[in-house]
Structure 1
Amino acid sequence: METLNAIDCFVRSAEAGSFAEAARRLGLTPAAVGKNVARLEASMGVRLFQRSTRRLSLTEDGERFLGEVSEGLASIKSALANLGNSAGQPSGTLKVSMGLAFAIDYMVPLLGEFLARYPAIEPDWHFDNRQVDLIGQGFDAAIGGGFELPPGVIARELAPAHRVLVAAPDYFAGGAEPRHPQDLAALDGILIRSPQTGRIRTWPLRTRDNQQAPVTLKPRMTLSDPGAACQAASLGYGVALVSLPHAAAYLNDGRLRRVLPEWYVDGGALSLYFPAQRILPAKTRAFIDFVVEHFRQHDLATRLSAI
């Protein structure tokens, strides 16, 4: 087990480029990580890293060793975790990342049923609209959409990632309602800044028959959270372009209505992401199956489609 821990420290250090960052991810001290890697090098009789004051870099032997052990290490750790399951049931800390508004509307309400079914699993859920480094930061899974699939990660699609234009029901009282996307230029826009890039992303609108047009809202305010954008729109501050999972509750209870309802943005898919491993930890498999089953039973893929 001591050798396994040393290899784990080596792999994390190689991924992070420093002992300090590897230590943060492993919950150890930088000194402990450095000593474990040094012991591994001594036992193998090779140098795995070139060390500098700024960054670690792999030697040729280190590169070769990393390629040989990375996948095997993940499989061994998963096998050990599954072997240690409580009374044969999935167990352990389940570290998952998802957006705050999505979590409040769709995931937190499921906690009671999930914990009743899997009492030995302890959820450790992180609410952040940013894309996380699933493998590097040690997450078991993440839920999100609108980004490319990183290497070593696979996904289960949950629902379309459609965005729609919304406004308060009385926003157009006394004024003309837009009939075409070009009419949006005269309307106050509630814009959303991308948490990944810090920029306001431009999205092309489309229809079911593949007509396309740009979104040309007049900037009135910029927010960094889609839940806040929905709230601002419901208060009559302007028109927002938001994902349907965030807007659905507002649309269902009448606080918002769609603007140009035949137009929408296709942002790909809302998916559940997890590391590609031959042996997936039982706790992760249980979570994936539970969420996929819930979306299927409640037909959320259809309910969250703009078409």
Structure 2
Amino acid sequence: MDNLRPIECFVRAAELGSIAAAARKLGITPAAASQNIARLEETLGTRLMRRTTRRLALTEAGRVYLERVAPLLEALERAGDAAVALGGRPRGRLKIACSIAFGRHVLARLLPRFLAAYPEIAVELALGDISADHLGDDIDVSIRFQNQLEPGLISRRLLTVPIHLVASPAYLARAGTPRTPEALKDHDCLAFRFARNGRILPWGFVRDGARFEPPLGVKIVANDIDTLATLALAGQGITRLGAFLADPLIEEGRLVSLFARPGDGAALGTAAEGAASFADPEPLEIYVCVVDRLAETAKIRAFIDFVVEMLTGPWPPRSLSGG
């Protein structure tokens, strides 16, 4: 793409707000990027940018040129990636974004098998509970919960993960066991707060086909699910955990799952007590996402095929349960 380098330098500098940032993105020196833009301006016979030591601004001609040329440059890059993907083997850096808890407790357990199958791929994990920006954060593929899906993403559903409302035996012995979700208002609840918008994650339930969110007696708020699990283990209250984190703790007897379906033996109380007021905790729907089909290079396609094979199906998938 060397013959397009001046255009590429101009577009990246306009997008990133500085020539130095464009140079880093392209792996060249700032001086080379500046010279490329100057050559482009000389070829066009007009100034595209006004550059000072503190800021970069497009001229009117620069804005018009960027509007026309940026989509063409992107299309060329994607066409090249698609052509390589058809004939190439999976290789290179693969940047994957997902939530912290899912990354720790699910993806980290699967990656050794993926890397053993594709030794020429190097993985970078971008773990965070703020939805990643595929373009701005240079993300190849993301794994998201349903409420993190955004317009413009192409998504494929992977699996449904059960949610458990859990507390330690010590907390339940001290505070009593809530029999219905409505009783949570009288208990110490350990809640998750979204970093992006500051909202507390609601605890959704489904009863007789209708979804509802009971009021909570929030005692502690944190923006990390593993921290909430640790607090629940320490007897500080009731929290909401995905099965990938909760299941082992429940099996070990360190946490108790509340509001289980009558007769399944997973919760305290009798079937008669719970039959009329039973409610299912709303599960997590998990998706794998890309920003564009043309962006699916060989390495991205290999990863999507891998997680579909490993995770699609009923919970727990065999890849995690050892079956």
The two structures share one fold, judged by TM-score above 0.5: yes
Q: 1:263 aligns with which of 280, 285, 294?
A: 280
CA deviation profile, 1:87-127 (whole Å, cap 9, x unmatched)? xx311111112233322221222233212211111112222
Quick check: 31-40 or 214-223, which moved more?
Answer: 31-40
Question: Which residue of structure 2 lines up, in the alignment, with residue 110 of structure 1?
Answer: 110
In terms of fraction of residues, the more helix-rich structure is: 2
Pairs aligned (count): 297
Segments of structure 2 that go 5 or more residues without pairing to the other structure are 261-278
Deviation at 1:291, TM superposition (A): 0.9
CA deviation profile, 1:231-272 (whole Å, cap 9, x unmatched)? 2112211111233444344334433232223332356x3211
Q: Report the secondary structure of 2:171's partner residue.
A: coil
TM-score of the two chains, using structure 1 as the length reference: 0.81
State the percentage of identical aligned residues. 31
Which amino acid is 1:227 matched to? D
Question: Which residue of structure 2 lines up, in the alignment, with residue 133 of structure 1?
Answer: 133
What are the within-5 Å matches in structure 2 for residues 199-218 of structure 1? 199-203=198-202, 205-218=204-217
**CA distance 1:224–1:204, shift in 2 (3 Å):** closer
Matched, 1:282 2:298: yes
Question: Which residue of structure 1 lines up, in the alignment, with residue 250 of structure 2?
Answer: 251
Q: CA RMSD in A?
A: 3.2
Q: Report the secondary structure of 2:149's partner residue.
A: coil
Question: Which residue of structure 1 lines up, in the alignment, with residue 263 of structure 2?
Answer: none
Which amino acid is 2:9 matched to? C
CA distance in 1: counterparts of 2:178 and 2:244, whole angstroms = 24
Question: Which residue of structure 1 lines up, in the alignment, with residue 154 of structure 2?
Answer: 154
What are the within-5 Å matches in structure 2 for residues 217-228 of structure 1? 217-228=216-227
TM-score of the two chains, using structure 2 as the length reference: 0.78
Deviation at 1:49, TM superposition (A): 4.9
Q: 1:70 aligns with which of 74, 85, 99?
A: 74
Work out whether residues 25 and 137 of structure 1, in 8 Å CA contact, stay in contact via their aligned partners in 2: no
Question: Which residue of structure 1 lines up, in the alignment, with residue 267 of structure 2?
Answer: none
What are the within-5 Å matches in structure 2 for residues 1-307 of structure 1? 1-45=1-45, 48-49=48-49, 53-54=54-55, 56-57=57-58, 59-80=63-84, 85=88, 89-145=89-145, 146-151=147-152, 153-160=153-160, 163-197=163-197, 199-203=198-202, 205-261=204-260, 262-265=279-282, 269-278=285-294, 280-296=296-312, 300=316
CA deviation profile, 1:279-304 (whole Å, cap 9, x unmatched)? 62111111111111111377547999
Quick check: 159-168 or 217-226, which moved more?
Answer: 159-168
Largest Rg, 1 or 2: 2
CA distance in 1: counterparts of 2:90 and 2:112, whole angstroms = 16
CA distance in 1: counterparts of 2:249 and 2:46, whole angstroms = 61
Segments of structure 1 that go 5 or more residues without pairing to the other structure are none
**CA distance 1:174–1:159, shift in 2 (3 Å):** same
